[in-house]
Amino acid sequence: MIPALGALHTGRLVLVPTDPLQAADQATIAKNLEAIGLIGAALPTTAAGELRFRIGPAFGSLIAFTGCAVSFGDADAADSPGPRIAFPPPSAAPRLFVGRNTRPPRCPACRAPLRDWLGPLRAAASRADPTESLEAAASLLCPGCGTEACAYQWDFGRHGGAGRSVVLIDEVFPGEAAPLPGLLRALERSTGCAWGYFYQQD
C-alpha cells in the first residue's frame, strides 16, 4: 500500500528551553501566553494531560510567517484548520522530538555530523515504535573525536531537539514560521530560562 500524500504530517513548530534539562509548569506557561494573546480558547485536554488551545488574537504578531500567504482559518470554528497550540506535561527527563525532517545531529564537542544517529537510538529504544520511544539519554559516539554524549546533548539544529517542557504549534511547515523576540522573552520571563525553537515532522 502506498500511503496517501494527505496523511503526511505538515509539521510543527516546537518551542523549548535552550537547556533541555529545564522544566516549567505547563499551566503557568499557558497562562502567560494567554496574557500576551498567543493562545485563545481552550480545547479539551487530552487523556495524556496535554493542554490544548486555539490561537489567540496576537498570534500573528508573535510568530513571523514567511513564504506563501497563510490563512489561520476561522479561529472560532471547532473544526477549523490552522494552527493549534499544545502544552504536554513536563517530563521527568528530556524527550527527543525528531521526525522525517531530522538531519544528522552534530557532536557537542567537535561539531562533526553523525550520519547513523537513528541506528544507535533505535537499538537503545525500549519499544518498537519508531520515533516516540527513542531514548534521549541513549549514548551517541562521535566518529570524529570519539566523544560519547547523550542524544539530547547533540545539536539537531532546527531539524529536531530535546526538552522536558515544550510548546507545540501544529500545523507549521518547517521553516515557514518562527517565534519573534517578544514571544521568546515572554517565555523567558515566565520560566526563568532562555528558550529556542526547532521543527518536527512526524
| Residues engaged in binding Zn ion (CB under 5 A) | 107, 109-110, 112, 142, 144-145, 147
38-45 own/partner pairs: CB under 8 Å, 24+ apart: 38/62, 38/63, 38/85, 38/183, 38/186, 39/85, 40/75, 41/75, 41/76, 43/84
Kindly tell me which of 36 and 121 has the beta carbon lying closer to Zn ion. Answer: 121
Residue 161: count of CB within 10 angstroms of its CB? 28
Kindly tell me which of 97 and 154 has the beta carbon lying closer to Zn ion. Answer: 154
Cβ contact 63:80 at 8 Å: no
Residue 64: count of CB within 10 angstroms of its CB? 12
Residue 144 beta carbon to Zn ion: minimum distance, rounded to whole angstroms: 4
Cβ contact 169:178 at 8 Å: no
Residue 122 has, within 13 A of its CA and on its CB side, a CA count of: 9
Residue 146 beta carbon to Zn ion: minimum distance, rounded to whole angstroms: 7
Residue 152 beta carbon to Zn ion: minimum distance, rounded to whole angstroms: 16
Residue 114 beta carbon to Zn ion: minimum distance, rounded to whole angstroms: 8
Residue 24 beta carbon to Zn ion: minimum distance, rounded to whole angstroms: 31
Kindly tell me which of 27 and 110 has the beta carbon lying closer to Zn ion. Answer: 110
| Residue type for position 173 | F
Kindly tell me which of 53 and 154 has the beta carbon lying closer to Zn ion. Answer: 154
**Residue 163: partners with Cβ closer than 8 Å, 6 or more residues away:** 14, 16, 17, 20, 22, 94, 95, 97
Kindly tell me which of 75 and 149 has the beta carbon lying closer to Zn ion. Answer: 149
